[in-house]
Amino acid sequence: MTVDIAELKKLAGERAAEWVESGMVVGLGTGSTAVYATRAIGQRLQDGRLHHILGIPTSEQTARQAQEAGIPLTTLDDHPIIDLTIDGADEIDPHLNLIKGLGGALLREKIVAAASRRMIVVSDARKVIAKLGTLAPLPVEVIPFARRPVYDYLTSLGAQVTLRRDRELEQRPFLTDEGNIILDCTFPQGIDDPATLAQTIIAQPGVVEHGLFLNLATLAVIATPDGLQILKRSEI
Ligand code: 5RP
């Protein structure tokens, strides 16, 4: 049986959108899974199942998708507390700790997640792993001026470090919505102690943020070929 990954992503995104209630401020995640939640929220607004929703997008791309879906947008200046955020992930461990940022939006995603009362992660089952760092590299967002010292620092921590390149213009570095670069860090044995690594990385001047999302997700909606799995960290 061939599994249509896009179908699984759609299933997870649309299921997560069912947790959105009228009157909520909703954090809108970035990526090919989160977009299904954004579209489903838009659909529910259009057909009257939801009203008075305000969205806070985690990237310029998501802002465009939300506008296309007819979701009114707001900002953290006007709504510093978000009721619920729905976002994708690149890895999900059994404690619902995550690696995020392969889509390049980790900085705004983490700001939004940290401002949220609850965060639902949406994914297909391929990204559920026992140990962080075994499937995806850990993205680290860095101010361009600090590229070399941060590269050397991350290497000294045991990471194999790669400068992320622009998807269309390979000779250029990828630039985030904030104009920063991303250094992707592969840890050959995976990440043994994510909390200590998170503190160690953020201590280096020039590092803006990293893709370890620890104790932020409250629930995960995982689409498997056999149906949906809901993983909980705390009651939602
Ligand atoms: C973007 C992210 C995405 O949520 C993550 O990369 C998952 O994306 P997708 O659903 O397309 O696999 O962290 O910065």
- Supply the pLDDT for residue 17: 98
- Supply the pLDDT for residue 236: 41
Give the full edge-to-edge strand order of the sheet including 91-92.
Answer: 91-92, 98-99, 212-213
What length does the chain have? 236
Question: For 15-60, what is each residue's pLDDT tens digit?
Answer: 999 999 999 999 999 999 999 999 999 999 999 999 999 999 999 9
> Residue 29 CA: which ligand 1 atom is closest?
4
Catalytic residue, chosen from 91, 109, 141, 209, is 109
Q: Is the distance from the beta carbon of residue 33 to the nearest atom of ligand 1 less than 6 Å?
A: yes
Tell me the average pLDDT across 107-124: 98
14 noted as active-site residue: no
Distance 33 CA to ligand 1 centre (A): 7
Give the integer Cα–Cα distance in Å for 38 and 63: 10
Domains of the chain: 5-129+214-235 (3.40.50.1360), 138-210 (3.30.70.260)
Closest C-alpha to 84, from 10, 29, 12, 11: 29
- Supply the pLDDT for residue 233: 85
Q: Is the pLDDT of residue 116 over 90?
A: yes
Question: For 172-193, what is each residue's pLDDT tens digit?
Answer: 999 999 999 999 999 999 999 9
Question: For 85-98, what is each residue's pLDDT tens digit?
Answer: 999 999 999 999 99
Q: Is the distance from the beta carbon of residue 109 to the nearest atom of ligand 1 less than 6 Å?
A: yes
Q: Kind and range of the H or E element at 232?
A: strand 227-232
> Residue 34 CA: which ligand 1 atom is closest?
10
